[in-house]
Amino acid sequence: MGPKVDNDDLLGELRIDRGQREDHRAPRRWPWIFSVVVILILAAGAALAWWLWAGKVFEVQTATAVATSAATGQAAVLEATGYVTARRQATVSAQITGTLTDVLIEEGERVEKGQILARLEDSAYRAGLDAAKARAAAARAQVAQSEAQLTQAQRDFQRQQDLVGSSLVSQQAADQARTEVAMLEAQVNAQQRQAAAAAAEVEVAQVQFDYTVVRAPFAGVIVAKAAQVGEIISPLSAGGGFTRTGVGTIVDMDSLEIEVDVNESYINRVKPNMPVLAVLDAYPDWEVPGHVIAIIPTADRSKATVRVRIAIEDKDPRIVPEMGVRVTFLEKQPQQPGQAQKGVLVPASAIVERAGNSVVFVIDGDTARQREVAPAPQTYGDLRLLPSGVAAGDTLVDEPPADLLDGSTVETN
């Protein structure tokens, strides 16, 4: 018979320790907590990255899409930007210092050559002119009196000569009459010179008086009114900020032309009388024909550019000084019927690759909008032809940054 088994021992073996039972039943929570923390960190990082990207403002250079001119047999070889300038422009001022009593101009008003623009206080100059005229009149009266005396002396001398021949008067009396004539002739000569000096003084006083009236030196349009009635005007800037140096600025609109800066690396493509098409920033759908007037024979060292002057062939009131303009230089090329290309020309640097596709970024307000394009194989200098996707006059981002995305906020320079 086997050993006796105690029932208490058996029950003790079957009893489960409370600590072991709690450890067995408690779930392992730390992996879940760790996962939640990692997810929250990743979400916060993504939110921070999105906030930084969405709040970033890209400072970009811009370029304007220009319509092609293939239908005319002209190919674009170069594009440059510049401004409308006036070859004939003047800030009109008085040649004397004085107080304005009348200002007869307003901005935008057209004036003719010689038209009165303003008047200065002229009481002192008027008095000086009247005094000069009075002195000149007195001098002329003295001349007339002396001339009358000379005429009488000449008659007396002639009678004395006749009487000397008849032995009725002495030779001494005749000599005295001759001397009187000579003295009066000298007096008349001196008084005539004095009268001429007085007349010159009148001319000087008249010129000074005329300086109180400011006139237009040529026909044009007033673009700035710089002074008001009651202000002191002076050509020498006397009195610092209390003295005006000009009444207004006048521009001869017939002298408007375009000045552009061409990169010196491409200046060899520009020739005198070369045809161009200009597109004003204010009217992107309007092409203005022109031609090269001159290539200024000096370069800007700081910008590495050469200035080119361009004539505007079709004058229009919409063209005003200091307007921004983009100029496309054209070159005559033989063209077969049916070769005309439709689309727009844009700088090659505005086209970039995104996800294997050619794209450009069109500026819409302060936002860059990505558009896929298919550039034509033809090149026109540093320009590329885009048959579709971009319209003439659209403003593009030139040399888009690598991190620029669709919807990014941009700021143009």
Q: pLDDT class for 71, splitting at 50, 70, 90? A: very low
Q: What is the pLDDT of residue 77?
A: 78
Q: Return mean pLDDT, the chain.
A: 81
Residues forming beta bridges with residue 138, ordered by sequence position:
none
Interatomic CA distance for residues 195 and 286, integer angstroms: 66
Q: Is the pLDDT of residue 47 over 60?
A: no
Q: How far is CA 186 from CA 158, 179, 183, 215, in A?
A: 19, 11, 5, 45
Measured over all CA atoms, what is the biggest interatomic distance in the chain, rounded to whole angstroms? 217
Q: Which residue has the higher pLDDT, 330 or 53?
A: 330
Label residue 178 exposed, middle or buried (CB < 10 Å: 0-12, 13-18, 19+): middle
Residue found under tokens 């000397």: 164
Sign of CA dihedral 166, 169, 174, 177: negative
Q: Provide, rounded to the nearest whole percent, the portion of the chain with pLDDT above 90.
A: 36
| Rounded mean pLDDT, 98-116 | 93
Segment 321-348, tens digit of pLDDT: 999 999 989 876 554 444 456 778 888 8
Least confident range from 54-58, 67-71, 126-130, 402-406: namely 67-71
Q: pLDDT class for 294, splitting at 50, 70, 90? A: very high
| Rounded mean pLDDT, 107-119 | 93
Q: How is residue 70 written in tokens?
A: 């293939």
Least confident range from 19-28, 115-124, 349-358: namely 19-28
| Rounded mean pLDDT, 85-111 | 92
Least confident range from 91-105, 176-190, 202-216, 299-313: namely 176-190
Question: How big, in percent rounded to 5, are the helix, strand and coil portions of the chain?
Answer: 35, 35, 35
Least confident range from 135-144, 248-257, 329-338: namely 329-338
